[in-house]
């Protein structure tokens, strides 16, 4: 007996599935989450300060004036709202440019990790066999090594430099993305649309690019929100230890390193202010990442 589809009754709204309007659904989910709104506002402020650093900075971040060293914060009045550091540089200007370096480092290093990890994970999950075993054993070896220890060793060998540090952190982070994407690819490659494309004679690279890759990007987006704060903190840690960016590059880690010596002598601002800026940046990314993980997790939608 044929089934009939009942028409919606007058005065009742038709239910639109979430998959029909994913962008609208995602925006509604964002607006309904106070945590996501707080994280989004904080992250937008940090990004705006970094992008507009050349315009908003009241001083040259590298301009030194020993007659103004360790000037206390004047907050909303005075030439140095957040004070100066041990060599007389304006802290507010250095924090703006330090945020710029941190965001640039985080975006570029994670882009390298995503490119390497997604390519390795899709290839391993699609072809399986020896390639899968080789990639997964390499990922296991990479994940067995402490992240910061490998970064310290690489920075000590190749020396300082923002570009070198971006490559090192980017290469170190590929394994997590490869394992995540490989697991999703194993499930997607057995779907009917992939079998249909293979039966129609599509090449493997076309199937992976057009059918497999778009269906494994959701966990990658969530993983990016977790890996980026860790990469930013790693750059600040290496700069604090003297193995990160050069001394002429504004960095939050370098500012913290230059100010912690005076932390308990009454001049707390050269170390605390950059530390707060780094904390706000990482917290903003983490809050948005937590919301994205909950919003894109199908198991949580099933419970709801």
All domains of the chain, ordered by start, with CATH? 87-296 (1.10.3720.10)
Both tokens of 145, joined, read 């090594």
pLDDT of amino acid 245: 85
pLDDT of amino acid 74: 85
Q: What number of CA atoms fall less than 13 Å from residue 234's CA on the CB side?
A: 28
Both tokens of 84, joined, read 């100066």
Both tokens of 241, joined, read 């230890």
Indicate the SS3 state at residue 52. Answer: coil
Q: What is the pTM of this model?
A: 0.83
pLDDT of amino acid 106: 93
pLDDT of amino acid 17: 44
Mean per-residue pLDDT pooled into runs of 10, the chain (304 residues):
43 42 71 87 94 90 87 81 89 93 94 95 92 93 85 81 89 92 90 88 88 89 90 90 84 89 86 93 91 70 46
| Helices assigned H by DSSP within 52-158 | 53-56, 91-127, 129-144, 147-158
Nearest CA-CA partner of 181 in 142, 216, 223: 216
* 172 close to 151: Cβ distance less than 8 angstroms: yes
Q: Using CA of residue 50, residue 74, residue 258, residue 272, what is the dihedral sign? A: negative
Indicate the SS3 state at residue 100. Answer: helix
* 269 close to 259: Cβ distance less than 8 angstroms: yes
């Amino acid at each position: 007996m044929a089934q009939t589809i009942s028409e919606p009754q007058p005065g009742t709204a038709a239910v639109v599935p979430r998959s029909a309007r994913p962008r609208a659904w995602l925006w509604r989910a964002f607006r309904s989450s106070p945590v996501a709104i707080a994280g989004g506002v904080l992250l937008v402020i940090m990004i705006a300060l970094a992008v507009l650093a050349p315009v908003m900075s009241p001083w040259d971040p590298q301009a030194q004036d020993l007659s103004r060293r360790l000037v206390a914060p004047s907050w909303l009045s005075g030439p140095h709202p957040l004070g100066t550091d041990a060599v007389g540089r304006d802290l507010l200007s250095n924090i703006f440019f330090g945020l710029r370096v941190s965001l640039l480092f985080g975006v570029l290093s994670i882009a390298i990790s995503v490119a390497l990890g997604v390519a390795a994970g899709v290839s391993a999950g699609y072809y399986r066999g020896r390639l899968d075993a080789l990639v997964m054993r390499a990922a296991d070896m990479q994940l067995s090594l402490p992240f910061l220890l490998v970064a310290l060793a690489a920075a000590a060998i190749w020396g300082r430099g923002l570009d070198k540090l971006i490559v090192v952190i980017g290469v170190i982070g590929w394994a997590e993305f490869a394992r995540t994407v490989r697991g999703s690819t194993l499930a997607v490659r057995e779907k009917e649309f992939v079998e249909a494309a293979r039966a129609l004679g599509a090449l493997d690279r076309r199937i992976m690019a057009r059918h497999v890759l778009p269906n494994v990007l959701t966990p990658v987006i969530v993983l990016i929100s977790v890996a980026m704060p860790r990469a930013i903190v790693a750059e600040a840690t290496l700069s604090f230890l003297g193995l990160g960016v050069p001394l002429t590059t504004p960095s939050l880690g370098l500012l913290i390193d230059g100010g912690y010596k005076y932390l308990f002598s009454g001049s707390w601002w050269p170390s605390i202010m950059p530390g707060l800026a780094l904390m706000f940046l990482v917290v903003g990314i983490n809050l948005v990442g937590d919301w994205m993980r909950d919003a894109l997790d199908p198991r949580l939608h099933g419970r709801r």
